Structure 1
Amino acid sequence: MAIVQCPNCNESISSRHKACPHCKTVMGELSAEELAAIAAKNRVKQQQRLLNWSFVALILFLGGFFYLYWRMPAQGSLEHLLGRAAVFIGCAWYLVNRVILVYLKKKK
């Protein structure tokens, strides 16, 4: 008995299971075409999730930037530090997500 990944939901299951207990995918009856379709669907889901996180990171970056631009908090104040932190974290998060997306698209 070995632990394997379900091709549909990527949960760990026993190799003796006939169907995944999480998503009810029948394991023995999947053809190569069906496995490829499931893999493509999972890749698209992951890309969509990364795109959503990229937009959240972009909003964080722009929110921090515009806060610093319009409010102009005093240097060294807590507001200034939080604004700069939001800009830095948002920018880094956005760039990491975009690099991962490019990697996933080239992986096809």
Structure 2
Amino acid sequence: MALTTCPICDKRISDKAKTCPHCQTALDGDLSSAQRIKQIEKSSRLMTHSFIAMTAFIAGVVVWFWGGEVASGPRAIIGGVLFAFGFVGYLVTRVRIILNKRKQL
């Protein structure tokens, strides 16, 4: 008996198991559709992360320049933090999306 990974949940299971004990997926049939669904769900999550990061970036710019002048005091700190986290988060998420697409090919 050897250990392999489940193609759906990526957890270690026995190679003789008929179903995965973690995700209850039947391992004797065609798993290509289940793997495709998993890839689509991951891509959807990454796009949601990208949207959240872009929203934080835009919120930072709005807070920084609200009222037509450059922010000062706590407003500048909040705007700068939102701007930085949104920008870095967006870049990291876009790299993850590219790597996920390469993995699909």
The verdict on a shared fold, with TM-score over 0.5 as the criterion, is yes
Name the TM-score, length of structure 1 as normaliser. Answer: 0.78
Say if 2:63 and 2:75, in contact at 8 Å, map to a contact too: no
In structure 2, relative to structure 1, the CA distance for the partners of 1:2 and 1:65 (3 Å cut) is farther
**Is 2:65 the counterpart of 1:69?**
yes
What percentage of residue pairs aligned between the two structures are identical?
30
The reply to whether residue 18 of structure 1 matches residue 14 of structure 2 is: no
Deviation string, structure 1 residues 74-97 (Cα, Å, up to 9, x no partner): 1xx232122111101101111111
Counterpart of 1:38 (choices 34, 37, 45) is 34
Distance 1:54 1:23 in 2: 28
Mapped partners of 2:19, 2:84: distance in 1? 46
Q: Which amino acid aligns with 2:21?
A: P
Quickly say closer, same or farther: Cα 1:83–1:3, change in 2 above 3 A.
farther
Report the number of matched residues. 102
- Measured after TM superposition, the shift of residue 16 of structure 1 is 4.3
Gaps of 5+ in 1: none
Q: Please say which of residues 63-72 and 84-93 is displaced more in the overlay.
A: 63-72
1:65 is displaced (CA, Å) by: 0.8
TM-score normalised by length of structure 2 = 0.80
**What is the letter of the counterpart of residue 96 of structure 2?**
I
- Could you list the runs of 5+ residues in structure 2 that have no partner in the other structure? none
CA RMSD in angstroms comes to 1.9
